């Protein structure tokens, strides 16, 4: 594998960018930043499965909902502190992912898409009908962790968005370690040629199950954080369009790149936010009523991205840089090529 020269500089640049935005943000800016950070975690967790192991799931939102509902149940019903609830929610998500994964990883290709969709919708249907969890009304009154020891208040948007950014950074570093480990390389190998790996005696199913559990666990973490962020949850968190949207985030940013997935999440959330704002349209000289139809624009954007830019922002950027470098130093590039072969 060719080492990715862009990775570390881009990671640093993105971190600095996030810090700069955090420093300059107003109240709503912090709310938006927290949302971006949470969905960056969610998208990165899906990217591990889709981009690295090649398992395309259309039911990842199920774990977002499990994490969120578990957090809500424990803070609202049992009165547990949010930090403990978050821990238990993550463990429960891991359990749910293990249970679902046991069945789902037996299938591949379009059948894997279908079964994850069915199971995801099963979670949606359950939460939608369940009376203890408030049915289609959802639940509210979810608390945030008590940071009194540090002299901070998590209900302050400035503090909370910083917490979410730290969480996203932590998840990124964790996934980076996973991806670069022998385990991660095996995932990429399974993606490239599953039969060969099987012939080599690799327990492919077990690897797939492990990825499914890791992705589900981190998805549950994102769910717990989103419950703490909004203080309110509803079955819509588990709806399959949420799974579709996060898949689009991963594609927009670039599959198989954690930074790509994170930036894809940021891009999609910011687009959604801007397109549903009247001022954006008026600024472009268009009628503000267009903001009611932002989904139309997003839909067309989704189609165009999948059709014409499926290697995502990150892939495009790397490609451009590689091409530029090849033009500047033609001889070295040829040597590199020989080495990598």
Partner 1 sequence: MNILDPTFFAIQFLNGLQLAALLFLLSIGLSVVFGLMNFVNLAHGTLYMLGAYLGLTAVNLFDSYWAALLLAPLGIALLGAVFYALLLKRLQKESPMKQVLVTFGLIFVGFDTVRMVWGALPQTIPAPDVFAGSVTVFGEIYPAYRLFIIGLGILVLLLLYFGLEKTRLGAVVRAGVDDPVMVSALGINVDLAFFAVFCLGCFLAGLAGVAAAPVFSLFPGMEMSVLILTLIVVVVGGPGSLWGAALGSLLIGMADTFGQVLFPEFASVTIYALMAVILLLRPHGLIPARVVR
Interface residues with partner 1 (CB under 8 A) are 50, 56, 58, 103, 106-107, 109-111, 113-115, 117-119, 121-122, 125-126, 128-131, 240-241, 244, 247-248, 251, 292-296, 298-303, 306-307, 310
233 within 8 A of 227, measured Cβ to Cβ: yes
Closest distance to partner 1 from the beta carbon of 130 (Å): 8
Closest distance to partner 1 from the beta carbon of 317 (Å): 21
In Å, what is the CA distance from 158 to each residue of 35, 147, 165, 340? 13, 13, 11, 46
Closest distance to partner 1 from the beta carbon of 112 (Å): 9
Shorter beta-carbon distance to partner 1: residue 56 or 154: 56
- Residue 225's closest CA among 187, 174, 171, 185? 171
Shorter beta-carbon distance to partner 1: residue 115 or 222: 115
Three state DSSP letters for 251-318: HHHCCCCHHHHHHHHHHHHHHHHHHCCHHHHHHCCCCHHHHHHHHHHHHHHHHHHHHHCCCHHHHHHH
DSSP line for 59-93: -THHHHHHHHHHHHIIIIIS---HHHHHHHHHHHH
Shorter beta-carbon distance to partner 1: residue 241 or 329: 241
Cα angle for residues 28, 86, 208 (degrees, 5° grid): 105
Closest distance to partner 1 from the beta carbon of 233 (Å): 19
Shorter beta-carbon distance to partner 1: residue 154 or 275: 275
Integer Rg of the chain from CA = 21
Cα angle for residues 321, 48, 273 (degrees, 5° grid): 75
Closest distance to partner 1 from the beta carbon of 235 (Å): 11
Shorter beta-carbon distance to partner 1: residue 53 or 251: 251
Shorter beta-carbon distance to partner 1: residue 231 or 244: 244
Closest distance to partner 1 from the beta carbon of 283 (Å): 21
Shorter beta-carbon distance to partner 1: residue 64 or 168: 64
- Give the tokens for residue 183: 């385990």
Closest distance to partner 1 from the beta carbon of 108 (Å): 10
145 CA to centre of own chain:
22
CA dihedral (288, 294, 296, 302) positive or negative = positive
Shorter beta-carbon distance to partner 1: residue 126 or 183: 126
Closest distance to partner 1 from the beta carbon of 113 (Å): 6
Partnered with residue 233 across adjacent β-strands are: 139
- Give the tokens for residue 137: 């009304």
Q: Distance between CA atoms of 136 and 236, rounded to whole angstroms?
A: 8
Interhelix angle 330-340/312-328, nearest 10 degrees: 120
């Amino acid at each position: 594998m060719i080492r990715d020269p862009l990775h570390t500089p881009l990671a640093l640049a993105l971190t600095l960018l996030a810090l700069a935005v955090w420093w300059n943000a107003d109240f709503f800016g912090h709310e938006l930043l927290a949302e971006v950070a949470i969905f960056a975690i969610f998208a990165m967790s899906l990217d591990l499965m889709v981009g690295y192991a090649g398992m395309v799931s259309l039911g990842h939102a199920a774990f977002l909902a499990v994490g969120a509902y578990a957090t809500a149940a424990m803070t609202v019903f049992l009165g547990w502190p949010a930090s403990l609830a978050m821990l238990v929610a993550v463990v429960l998500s891991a359990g749910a992912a293990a249970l679902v994964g046991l069945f789902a990883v037996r299938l591949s290709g379009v059948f894997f898409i279908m079964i994850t969709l069915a199971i995801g919708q099963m979670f949606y249907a359950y939460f939608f009908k369940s009376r203890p969890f408030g049915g289609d009304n959802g639940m509210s009154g979810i608390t945030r962790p008590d940071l009194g020891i540090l002299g901070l208040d998590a209900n302050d948007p400035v503090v909370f968005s910083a917490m979410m950014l730290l969480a996203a950074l932590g998840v990124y570093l964790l996934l980076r370690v996973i991806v670069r480990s022998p385990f991660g390389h095996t995932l990429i190998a399974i993606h490239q040629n599953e039969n060969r790996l099987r012939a080599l005696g690799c327990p492919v199913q077990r690897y797939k199950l492990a990825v499914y559990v890791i992705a589900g666990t981190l998805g549950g973490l994102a769910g717990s954080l989103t419950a703490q962020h909004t203080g309110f949850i509803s079955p819509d968190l588990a709806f399959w369009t949420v799974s579709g949207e996060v898949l689009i985030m991963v594609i927009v940013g670039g599959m198989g790149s954690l930074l790509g997935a994170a930036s894809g999440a940021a891009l999609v959330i910011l687009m959604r936010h801007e397109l549903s704002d009247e001022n954006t349209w008026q600024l472009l000289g268009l009628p503000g009523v267009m903001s009611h139809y932002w989904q139309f624009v997003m839909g067309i954007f989704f189609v165009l991205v999948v059709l014409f830019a499926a290697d995502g922002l990150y892939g495009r950027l790397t490609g451009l840089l590689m091409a530029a470098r090849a033009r500047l130093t033609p001889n070295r590039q040829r040597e590199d090529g020989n080495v990598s072969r």
